[in-house]
Chain A
Amino acid sequence: MQTFDLSKDGLRALNSSLHALKGQTNMTAWEVINPKGAHAIAAGVDAPVEITVRGSTGYYCAGMNKQASIFIKGSAGPGVAENMMSGKVVIDGDASQYAGATGRGGLLVIKGNASSRCGISMKGIEIVVHGNIGHMSCFMAQSGAVVVLGDAGEALGDSLYEARLFVRGKVKSLGADCIEKEMRPEHFAMVEDLLRRGEADHKAKPEQFRRYGSARKLYTFNIDNAAAY
């Protein structure tokens, strides 16, 4: 285990060390102590390593992550795992705005609540939120899947493309072009798989979820839909 004291050695040294890990490395387990809400912790990692951050993080922790498994033993600030490419990020606490924004792959697990704009503009990432998600979540979400065990705030999935949204609790309102859709067998299987990988299979069952997706009415401009813009 490599232990890195962020308050002592600084962000640049941490990320330089993590970026230096290429291909096969024996330094596969890292621990970051004293994060104290610092920004951009473990941003841009591209190696199959495990990084445990012991405390809460600032903006953009695990940004653009590739391959790494990053565990935040606290809460995460805005933009956690933004544009993640692959790997896994697991947050024990809550996540602030824009969690998983534009993520293109990998799995983001938030064991607490996620604030507004969770999964905004997502492009393939999978997100499991044990609690609630805030307003405007999944705005312009392009692809990937979101599973929410709690409630969703206002305007869920506004201007949605092809991302799949599953919510167990109440949805305060749906955004433009987002509608409820039938749960078919493949969707139950998808939710079951995500609950398992998202460490939530003991908390919920697939049949408790509703599916939301795009009505695809805004895909090509039509003046008769102008009120939705």
Chain B
Amino acid sequence: MSDFPHTPPKMSWTFSNDVNAEIRRAAATGIYDIRGGGSKRRLPHFDDLLFLGASISRYPLEGYREKCATDVWLGTRFAKNPIHLDIPITIAGMSFGALSGPAKEALGRGASAAGTSTTTGDGGMTEEERGHSKSLVYQYLPSRYGMNPDDLRRADAIEVVVGQGAKPGGGGMPLGQKISDRVATMRNLPKGIDQRSACRHPDWTGPDDLEIKILEIREITNWEKPIYIKIGGARPYYDTALAVKAGADVVVLDGMQGGTAATQDVFIENVGMPILACIPLAVKALQDLGMHRKVQLIVSGGIRTGADVAKAMALGADAVAIGTAALIALGDNDPALEAEYNKLGTTAGAYDDWHEGKDPAGITTQDPELSGRFDPVLGGRRLKNYLKVMTLEAQTIARACGKNHLHNLEPEDLCALTIEGAAMAGVPLAGTNWIPGRNGGF
């Protein structure tokens, strides 16, 4: 050994432990990493924004005494029966198959108790969710698993899914181990095989066709149901404009933090845009067409708190949707189950192998023993509580900004902590009047 001091071991930023582990995993297995959830990157997000609050120029409302309304109408453009929700926080589409029957029931119970809607997913409508959901949005997906006119007619709204934030341009891939008899029957597929959900609809291509497809759905449902179009956060200005052109009552816009049941990690982390970057572009498309507030905008992807809700609405959304947060409220990734997560080679908070069906919380599984652990009544109560808290938080902020309805929040109520956040949200960097890319400023 020389007496000269050695350079201490230095890890590469480019070839980090995480990166190297993935290279070794790929080399050993020969399959790309499939997982659930949304992007885990650190992305520009609502955390990059702050509310300014009232001051001399703005008059605040008194907390607990002066009303700050939270209700929202969805589907007022064409539908005979638009949906009226007490709160603007909806439950995003999650499939039976991805989730257990009791978990779907809990989502319905919690949402209904809080005065909001739930949404089916890529697997058809179950009695658990229809029976327990006061307002149920029925997804119309490329796979058309379980699609039938009776369920279309007993839905409260129909959501034509063009894309989702976790995988704009991609289809899902729940693996065979999660495909139980019931899931297989609902999807007209053999038990135990991988489900290759298509990325394109089988019977229309492009916005002109979509307009006719929506006409057909409206005819079948007697023009009663609001028609939503869900898009992933890829090209939100043009996609929103084309959705309006195609006849949407509501546009659902999902950023890359939005979860999925099962897709390639490389897809989740490298395709699409964060929701913060998407909302202003979608709102601008609606404003340019004179359709803002006439076609409602629901945004999703990383909504966690009432502050996130308020910020999304201040940027121009009419409502938000939550998926991952709702699952956490139900009990997903709970540290109380740490020992069981450890047995699966993971830890509470990081568990994302939802496609393997081994969820110890009984939520993202079809295993009867595991799903039997989950109490849908308790889960529903937890979700209701969480939704109520988020609503109260959003109201608190709105009152502080002098707004008597969450819809009255506006970009002027916001500033940004980061240059990226300011540029994406189109609000000034804190302490300046500079909106990067918009004006000279200082």
Contacts and interface: CB of A to CB of B under 8 A. Distances in A.
A58 B212 contact: yes
B339 interface: no
Given A43-B216, A79-B203, A219 B176 contact: yes
B144 A162 contact: no
Nearest to B149: A64
Interface string B25-58: 0000111000000000000000000000000000
A1 interface: no
A11 B223 CA distance: 12
Given A143-B188, A159-B196, A44 B202 contact: no
A85 B149 contact: yes
A44 B144 CA distance: 16
A60 B147 contact: no
Interface string A59-97: 110011010000000000011001101000000000001
Given A59-B212, A219-B176, A220-B194, A104 B203 contact: no
Contacts of A139: 202
A117 B209 CA distance: 15
Given A12-B223, A123-B144, A82 B190 contact: no
A106 to B, nearest CB: 12
A59 B188 contact: no
A140 B197 CA distance: 9
A63 B220 contact: yes
Contacts, number: 109
A219 B144 CA distance: 19
Contact of A140 (B30, B31, B198, B213): B198
A140 B196 contact: yes
A19 B219 CA distance: 10
Interface string A95-121: 001100110100000000000010011
A15 to B, nearest CB: 5
Given A63-B216, A98-B202, A221 B148 contact: no
A121 B204 contact: no
A46 B149 contact: yes
A221 B148 CA distance: 29
Nearest to A15: B219
A147 B312 CA distance: 53
B428 to A, nearest CB: 47
A102 B196 contact: no
Interface string B208-243: 010011011001111100000000000000000000
A161 B190 contact: yes
Contacts of B212: 39-40, 58-60
B365 interface: no
A52 interface: no
Contact of B188 (A12, A15, A58, A124): A124
A110 to B, nearest CB: 15
A123 to B, nearest CB: 4
Nearest to B148: A85
Interface on chain A toward B: helix, strand, loop, or mixed SS? loop
B189 interface: yes
Contacts of A15: 219-220
A224 B194 CA distance: 16
A44 B190 contact: no
B203 A39 contact: no
B191 to A, nearest CB: 11
Contacts of B149: 44, 46, 64, 66, 83, 85
Contacts of B222: 16, 19
Interface string A1-38: 00000000001100110010000000000000000000
A82 B149 CA distance: 11
Contacts of A221: 31, 173, 175, 194
B202 A120 contact: yes
A56 interface: no
B309 to A, nearest CB: 36
A227 interface: no
Given A83-B148, A142-B189, A59 B202 contact: no
Contacts of A104: 147-148, 188
A12 B219 CA distance: 7
Contact of A44 (B194, B196, B198, B219): B219
A182 to B, nearest CB: 20
Contact of B209 (A44, A59, A102, A124): A59
Interface string B91-128: 00000000000000000000000000000000000000
A78 B209 contact: yes
20 contacts: A15-B219, A39-B215, A39-B216, A40-B216, A43-B219, A43-B220, A44-B220, A59-B213, A60-B203, A64-B149, A79-B203, A79-B204, A79-B213, A79-B216, A98-B202, A101-B202, A104-B147, A120-B202, A218-B196, A220-B175
Given A40-B216, A60-B203, A60-B213, 20 more contacts: A16-B222, A43-B216, A60-B216, A64-B148, A78-B203, A78-B204, A78-B209, A82-B203, A83-B147, A85-B149, A101-B203, A123-B188, A124-B188, A140-B196, A142-B187, A159-B196, A161-B193, A162-B189, A220-B193, A221-B31
Interface of A: 11-12, 15-16, 19, 39-40, 43-44, 46, 58-60, 63-64, 66, 78-79, 82-83, 85, 97-98, 101-102, 104, 117, 120-121, 123-124, 139-140, 142-143, 159, 161-162, 218-221, 223-224
> What 5 A-B pairs have minimum CB-CB distances, sorted nearest first?
A44-B220, A223-B30, A98-B203, A123-B188, A219-B193
Interface of B: 29-31, 143-144, 147-149, 152, 173, 175-176, 187-190, 193-194, 196, 198, 202-204, 209, 212-213, 215-216, 219-223
